[in-house]
């Protein structure tokens, strides 16, 4: 069954959130999976674990409570947001592998632009070396494999973000085996609003985008590459 890929363009966050919930509530075992790709006007979103103290000064940017996992993040113009609406039961894999596949899609998207993306143990999302984003050297704080499955990682100590910038944030919800919410890749943004929060609940975590690390890519180009990688890596 093919995935229905839709580029929604720039859309407000709240109606998109409501549409994901409605789609997921109404879908049946025969409903094709979907991938919505979009961009949002400036908004802070809080996950289920979100704490108010992680937002210092919203300064007029709306704050929306959501039912996704994780803490606070920022969405704004120049960021590609992808919402995979996947029936995991039909796809044949579990949530941990789903997260791994989304992260792998981002890593492969960054590789398309010559950038090396990294996982950090205990901290979902994708990170880059700020001093050398094109270096292939492995991070000492990368997740440790458990057994032969690439998505089963050993739990480590507190995440170490030294020298790193977060370039993609992940927050998901699974309802009746079906996913919504998703991943946001920073392309060419105004990064200042990230300085008014503890991104994903981590004080001092730097946030970056492709533009800041020297990659000139349009929103449309990055959205096209990420969409193609997600369709490939989320396939059953």
Residues assigned a catalytic role: 200
Query: Alpha-carbon torsion 42, 16, 46, 34, what sign?
Result: negative
Instruction: Report residue 103 as tokens.
Output: 């992260």
Angle at 47 between CA 144 and CA 198, to 5 degrees: 75
Positive or negative torsion for Cα 62, 126, 212, 82? negative
Question: CA geometry: angle at 213 spanning 116 and 118, to 5°?
Answer: 25
Which of the 8 DSSP states describes residue 188? S
Alpha helices, H only, 40-174: 88-91, 95-112
Bridge-based pairing of strands 73-75 and 79-85 is unpaired
Using CB atoms within 10 Å of the CB of residue 32, give its burial: 0 to 12 exposed, 13 to 18 middle, 19+ buried: exposed
Q: Name residues whose C-beta falls within 8 Å of residue 91's C-beta, 6 or more positions apart in sequence.
A: 33, 98, 234, 235, 236
Residue closest to 190 by CA, chosen among 40, 78, 68, 52: 78
């Amino acid at each position: 069954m093919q995935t229905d890929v839709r580029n929604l363009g720039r859309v407000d966050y709240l109606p998109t959130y409501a549409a994901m919930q409605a789609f997921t509530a109404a879908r049946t075992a025969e409903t094709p999976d979907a991938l919505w790709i979009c961009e949002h006007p400036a908004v802070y979103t809080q996950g289920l674990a979100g704490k108010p103290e992680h937002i210092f000064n919203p300064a007029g940017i709306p704050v929306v409570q959501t039912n996704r996992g994780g803490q606070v993040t920022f969405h704004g113009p120049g960021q590609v947001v992808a919402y995979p609406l996947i029936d995991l039961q039909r796809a044949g894999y579990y949530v941990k592998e789903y997260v791994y596949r989304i992260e792998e899609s981002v890593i492969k998207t960054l590789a398309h632009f010559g950038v090396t993306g990294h996982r950090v143990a205990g901290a979902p999302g994708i990170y880059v070396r700020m001093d050398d984003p094109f270096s292939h050297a492995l991070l000492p704080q990368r997740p440790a494999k458990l057994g032969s499955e690439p998505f089963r990682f050993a739990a480590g100590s507190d995440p170490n973000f030294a020298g790193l910038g977060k370039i993609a944030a992940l927050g998901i919800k699974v309802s009746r085996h079906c996913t919504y919410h998703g991943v946001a890749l920073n392309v060419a943004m105004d990064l200042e609003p990230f300085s008014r929060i503890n991104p994903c609940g981590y004080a001092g975590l730097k946030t970056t985008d492709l533009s800041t690390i020297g990659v000139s890519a349009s929103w449309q180009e990055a959205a096209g590459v990420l969409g193609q990688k997600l369709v490939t890596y989320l396939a059953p």
